[in-house]
Structure 1
Amino acid sequence: MRWLLLLAAALSGAAYSVVAEEGMDGAALYQQHCASCHGTKLEGQPDWRSRGTDGRLPAPPHDVTGHTWHHSDDILFRITRDGTAAVVGDDYESNMPGFGDTLKDEQIHAILEYIKSTWPDRERAYQEAISGKK
């Protein structure tokens, strides 16, 4: 029995190492690439609904108090990969850069899955429905 526990511990550690080495840990990737603007606890920047003196909106929260869960997977992926201005168009100005040159598509998906994993069931179900998953 003890050897099974040791084997399970070794395998889970190996799996974690593979995830970390491939850069697919969504929570860690979020902290590294997103938290400086969107907050370590997904809380966003203060007064995120009001434009700053530069005319741009501060980074919104990605927790349940924000509007991230109102958007489909496709939109969230494109905003993260290409930047808000590229997705919105019409010369929209945003501080949100695109991470397509920095992150692999799989890493962006991992970050988005991490964010979605923090939402309550109701918001997660709504977001899945608008993404065509239900």
Structure 2
Amino acid sequence: MNRRTLAGLGAAGVLAAIALIVTMGSDTEPSSLLAPSDPEVVARGQAVYAETCAACHGGDLEGQPNWRERTPEGRLPAPPHDETGHTWHHDADTLFRLTKYGVGALIGETDYPSDMPAYEGVLTDDDIIAVLSYIKSTWPQEIRARHDELENRP
């Protein structure tokens, strides 16, 4: 092998090692947009939630009754955001996009029947992140840990 080939292989090896280290690091630290341990973010999120979300999702994040069953109009009631609901089954990016753009935009069906409005132009991105951080802050530690694991999947 000539010097140029060896140098190229050496550089490729260094890049592969860096990629491995970066990948390993991302598996051990939550990569979420959310900040459920930041008291200021959580307080802001709690206030925005009370003003904007609680009317449908409940003051205690309990959701509406029979939230898994469609109404006669074909819409699903507001789900709970506590540990009994499915919110924690979705990564932060999905939750953010659902809140900002609405269910129909998220699933690619603009005619999807939903009472959940899109909050683009109503709430700032920081407000949405704060609300989602507040919601996550209320989950039991086991559920938060499971959500963190979900956030760290490649």
For Structure 1 versus Structure 2, the TM-score category normalised by the shorter chain is: 0.7 to 0.9
Match 2:97 to one of 78, 81, 84: 78
After the TM superposition, list the runs of 4 or more consecutive aligned residues in structure 1 that deviate by more than 3 angstroms: none
Could you tell me how far apart the structure 2 residues matched to 1:131 and 1:81 are? 19
Unaligned runs of 5+ in 2: 1-38
- 1:88 counterpart residue number: 107
Could you tell me how far apart the structure 2 residues matched to 1:132 and 1:41 are? 28
TM-score by length of 1: 0.79
Match 2:49 to one of 30, 45, 56: 30
Could you tell me how far apart the structure 2 residues matched to 1:62 and 1:32 are? 16
The AA in structure 1 aligned to 2:125 is: D
Deviations 1:9-29 (A, max 9, x none): xxxxxxx9xx6xxxx711010
The AA in structure 1 aligned to 2:127 is: Q
Unaligned runs of 5+ in 1: 1-15
State, as a whole percentage, how many aligned pairs show the same letter: 53
Could you tell me how far apart the structure 1 residues matched to 2:84 and 2:136 are? 13
RMSD: 2.1
- 2:148 counterpart residue number: 128
- 1:62 counterpart residue number: 81
Greater relative contact order, per chain length (Cα 8 Å cut-off, separation 6+): 2
Q: How many residues align?
A: 114
Q: Larger Rg: 1 or 2?
A: 2
